[in-house]
C-alpha cells in the first residue's frame, strides 16, 4: 500500500509533524509554521457546548420495518406498506449529568429516533419512561436547574432535587417510576423507549387520531440495583457505551417492537382525564397496544463526535400524516430543540450527514450563515415565488387541524377528582411486588433523608401518602430511621 501524505487543512504536504519550526536549533518558534498554528487552533476548538440536558449519549444506525397495517390511522409514507424499511439513527442518553458523568446512574434515559424517510426526516424524541415530571414547559428550566449540578457547589444537591419535587406534586408518578427498579437500566439495549407525549396521526381520509408510542425492547428489561450501579459506574463510567458499541461490533442486532395506543380524536374531549397530560399514562384497558413494526440497530457510527455529539433531534421534525397534539409540554419542545441546535451546532447543522435527509433532498430558500456548505446550484434563486422553477409549496397540510376554544390566558390543567396528581403513582406502587416496594422505598428514603429542611421532607412525604397510604407510611418510616442514624 502506497503511503498517504500528511497534509495541512488546505491540502499542502506537511514536511515535519514531529518538530515545530524554530529560529535556529534551540530558538523561539516561527509564526510562519502554518501546520503548528493550524494544529493548535483546531485543538482549541475541538469541544462544542454540550447538550444542556442529555449531554452523555451513545448512538447507532439501523432500520425500521413496518410489520402491521396502520394505514387506517396515518398516511405517513414510511408507514404505508407492510415490509417497508426506513433507515434510522438512534441516540440514547442519560439526562441530568454533564458529559463527564457516568452511564450507570439513576436517571431517565433518552431514546431519540431519527427516521430518514422519503418525505423528510421524522424525529421521535422520547425517553425510557412513559411519563414525565412536569406538564408545562414553563417549569422545565427550573426543573432542570434543580436536578443538575448546583452553580455554587458544583454537585447535584439532594436539597435542590427534592425542593423542586416538594413543589411539583405532578412529579409523584415519574418519581415512583425513577426510584423503582427501572430507574437504572443495565444497558441501553435492555430498556423500553416511549414517545411519552400524545401525538396526532391523520389518515388519508383526513381523520385524526391521538397516539402514544411504545418501543418494547426485544432484549428483555434488565436493571441494576443502586449498589450494582455504583460498582458499575466505578469500574466503567461508559458502561452503556461499552455495551452498545461492543454488542453491535459482535454482530448482535438489538431490536425494539413498536406499538401504538390509538385514541380517535373525537374521544379526547370526553376522556376522563386530560389525554395530553404528560404525567399520566393511558391505561391499556382503555387503549390497547397495537403493533406497528420493528426497529433494529446494526451499525456503529464511524466517528462519535461527528455523528453522535453533532446529532440534532427536534420534536418539531414531522412528516405528512404525523403532527403535534395540544400537549403543552410538547408544544414548548417544538420550539426548544431547533433553538438549542442553532446555538450548539450553528444554523447549518441540518447539512451535517447525520442530520441531513438521506432518502430525499432538502430544497428550500435558506442560504448562507456560519458553515454554509450547500450551494444549491449556481442559478437557483434564493427567493420565492420565482419564475425559474424553484421549489414550491404543496398546499396540503401535514396533519389534521386541532380544535381550539376559550380565551387566551395562563391556565392550570383541570384535574379529574379521581385521576389527580397522585392516583397513577399509587396504581404503579400497588402493581409492585413486596421486594420491588422495599427497594423503591429504600431508594426514595436514601435521597430524601439527605435533605436538610424539614418542611421540604414533609411536603414530599405528603405526596407519597396521597398516592397510597402504605407507600407514604413506609417512606416516612424509612426516612425517619435514616435521619436518626
Ligand atoms: C434534549 C429541552 C422535555 C427528551 C434536550 C435539549 C433541550 C431540551 C434544549 C438539548 C437539545 C440539543 O442540544 O440537541 C427540553 C424542554 C422540555 C423537554 C424545553 C420540556 C418543555 C423532554 C421530554 C422528553 C425529552 C418530555 C422525553 C419524552 C429529550 C431527549 C434529548 C433531549 C431524548 C436528547 C436528544 C439527543 O439525543 O440529541 N431537551 N426537553 N425532553 N430531550 Fe428534552
Q: Is the CB of 21 under 6 A from ligand 1?
A: no
Catalytic residue, chosen from 121, 127, 128, 317, is 127
- pLDDT for 2 beyond 80: no
User: Which one of 49, 91, 93, 110 would you pick to mutate in the ligand 1 pocket, going by the greatest count of ligand atoms within 8 A of its CB?
Assistant: 110
Q: How many CB atoms lie within 10 A of CB 208?
A: 22
pLDDT at 160: 98
Query: What mean pLDDT comes out for the span 76-84?
Result: 98
Of the candidates 63, 61, 119, which has an alpha carbon nearest to the alpha carbon of residue 89? Answer: 61
406: alpha, beta or left, given left = phi > 0 and alpha = psi -120 to 50? left
- Cα of 110 vs centre of ligand 1, distance in Å, is 8
Residues 269-284 have a mean pLDDT of 94
Which residue, judged by its Cα, is nearest atom 14 of ligand 1?
Answer: 312
Q: Is 93 in the pocket of ligand 1 (CB under 6 A)?
A: yes
> Residue 177: its pLDDT value, please?
98
Continuous segment of H or E residues that includes residue 59: strand 57-66
Q: Which atom of ligand 1 is nearest to the CA of 278?
A: 26
The Å distance, Cα 137 to ligand 1 centre, comes to: 11
Provide the pLDDT for residue 367: 87
Shortest-distance atom of ligand 1 to CA 52: 10
Is-catalytic flag, 300? no
DSSP of 254-282: -EEEEEEEEEEGGGTTTSSS-TT-TT-PP
Single out the residue of 123, 69, 78 nearest to residue 292, CA to CA: 69
- Tell me the pLDDT tens digit for each residue of 437-455: 999 999 999 999 999 999 9
Number of the ligand 1 atom closest to the C-alpha atom of 132: 26
Reduced to 3 states (helix: H, G, I; strand: E, B; else coil), residue 84 is coil
Query: Does 209 contact ligand 1 (Cβ within 6 A)?
Result: no
- pLDDT-derived band at 219, boundaries 50, 70, 90: very high
- Interhelix angle 158-166/454-467, rounded to 10 degrees, is 50
Q: How far is the CA of 347 from the centre of ligand 1 (A)?
A: 18
- HEC letters along 433-476: CHHHHHHHHHHHHHHHCCCCCHHHHHHHHHHHHHHCHHHHHHHH
Question: Considering only CA atoms, which of 352, 314, 351 is closest in space to residue 334?
Answer: 314
Mean predicted confidence (pLDDT) in 174-199: 98
Sign for the pseudo-dihedral over CA of 337, 343, 348, 351? negative
For residues 324 and 200, give the distance between their C-alpha atoms in angstroms, rounded to a whole number: 5
Query: Has 240 been annotated as catalytic?
Result: no
pLDDT at 351 (0 to 100): 95
For residue 392, give every residue at least 6 positions away whose Cβ sits within 8 Å of its Cβ, in sequence order, or none. 384, 385
Interface TM-score (ipTM) > 0.90: yes
Given this model, what pLDDT does residue 417 score?
63
Whether the bond into 385 is cis, omega within 30 of 0: yes
Amino acid at each position: 500500500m502506497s503511503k498517504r501524505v500528511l497534509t495541512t487543512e488546505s491540502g499542502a504536504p506537511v514536511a515535519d509533524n514531529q518538530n515545530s519550526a524554530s529560529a535556529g536549533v534551540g530558538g523561539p518558534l516561527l509564526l510562519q509554521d502554518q501546520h503548528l498554528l493550524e494544529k493548535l487552533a483546531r485543538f482549541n476548538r475541538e469541544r462544542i457546548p454540550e447538550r444542556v440536558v442529555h449531554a452523555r449519549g451513545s448512538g447507532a444506525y439501523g432500520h425500521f420495518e413496518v410489520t402491521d397495517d396502520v394505514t387506517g390511522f396515518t398516511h405517513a409514507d414510511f408507514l404505508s406498506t407492510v415490509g417497508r424499511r426506513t433507515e434510522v439513527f438512534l441516540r440514547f442518553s442519560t439526562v441530568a449529568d454533564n458529559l463527564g458523568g457516568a452511564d450507570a446512574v439513576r436517571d431517565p434515559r433518552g431514546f431519540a429516533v431519527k427516521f430518514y424517510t422519503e418525505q423528510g426526516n421524522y424525529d421521535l424524541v422520547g425517553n425510557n419512561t412513559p411519563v414525565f415530571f412536569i406538564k408545562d414547559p414553563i417549569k422545565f428550566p427550573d426543573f432542570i436547574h434543580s436536578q443538575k449540578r448546583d452553580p455554587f457547589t458544583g454537585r447535584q444537591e439532594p436539597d435542590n432535587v427534592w425542593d423542586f419535587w416538594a413543589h411539583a406534586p405532578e412529579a409523584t408518578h415519574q418519581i415512583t417510576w425513577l426510584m423503582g427498579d427501572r430507574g437504572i437500566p443495565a444497558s441501553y439495549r435492555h430498556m423500553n423507549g416511549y414517545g411519552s407525549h400524545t401525538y396526532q396521526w391523520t389518515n388519508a381520509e383526513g381523520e385524526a387520531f391521538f397516539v402514544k408510542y411504545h418501543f418494547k425492547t426485544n432484549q428483555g428489561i434488565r436493571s441494576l440495583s443502586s449498589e450494582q450501579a455504583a460498582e458499575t459506574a466505578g469500574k466503567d463510567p461508559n458502561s452503556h457505551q461499552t455495551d452498545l458499541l461492543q454488542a453491535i461490533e459482535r454482530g448482535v442486532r438489538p431490536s425494539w417492537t413498536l406499538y401504538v395506543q390509538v385514541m380517535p380524536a373525537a374521544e379526547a374531549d370526553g376522556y376522563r382525564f386530560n389525554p395530553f397530560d404528560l404525567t399520566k399514562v393511558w391505561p391499556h384497558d382503555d387503549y390497547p397496544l397495537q403493533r406497528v413494526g420493528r426497529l433494529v440497530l446494526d451499525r456503529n457510527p464511524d466517528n462519535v463526535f461527528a455523528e453522535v455529539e453533532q446529532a440534532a433531534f427536534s420534536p418539531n421534525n414531522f412528516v405528512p400524516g404525523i403532527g403535534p397534539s395540544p400537549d403543552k409540554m410538547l408544544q414548548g419542545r417544538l420550539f426548544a430543540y431547533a433553538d438549542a441546535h442553532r446555538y450548539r451546532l450553528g444554523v447549518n447543522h441540518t447539512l451535517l450527514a447525520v442530520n441531513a435527509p438521506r432518502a430525499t433532498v432538502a430544497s428550500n430558500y435558506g442560504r448562507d450563515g456560519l458553515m454554509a456548505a450547500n450551494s444549491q446550484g449556481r442559478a437557483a434563486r434564493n427567493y420565492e415565488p420565482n419564475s425559474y422553477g424553484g421549489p414550491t409549496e404543496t398546499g396540503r397540510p401535514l396533519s389534521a387541524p386541532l380544535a381550539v376554544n376559550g380565551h387566551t390566558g395562563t391556565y392550570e390543567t383541570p384535574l379529574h377528582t379521581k385521576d389527580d396528581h397522585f392516583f397513577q403513582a399509587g396504581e404503579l406502587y400497588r402493581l409492585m411486588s413486596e421486594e420491588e416496594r422495599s427497594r423503591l422505598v429504600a431508594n426514595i428514603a436514601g435521597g430524601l433523608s439527605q435533605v436538610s429542611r424539614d418542611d421540604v421532607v414533609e411536603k414530599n412525604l405528603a405526596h407519597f401518602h396521597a398516592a397510597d397510604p402504605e407507600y407514604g407510611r413506609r417512606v416516612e418510616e424509612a426516612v425517619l430511621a435514616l435521619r436518626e442514624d
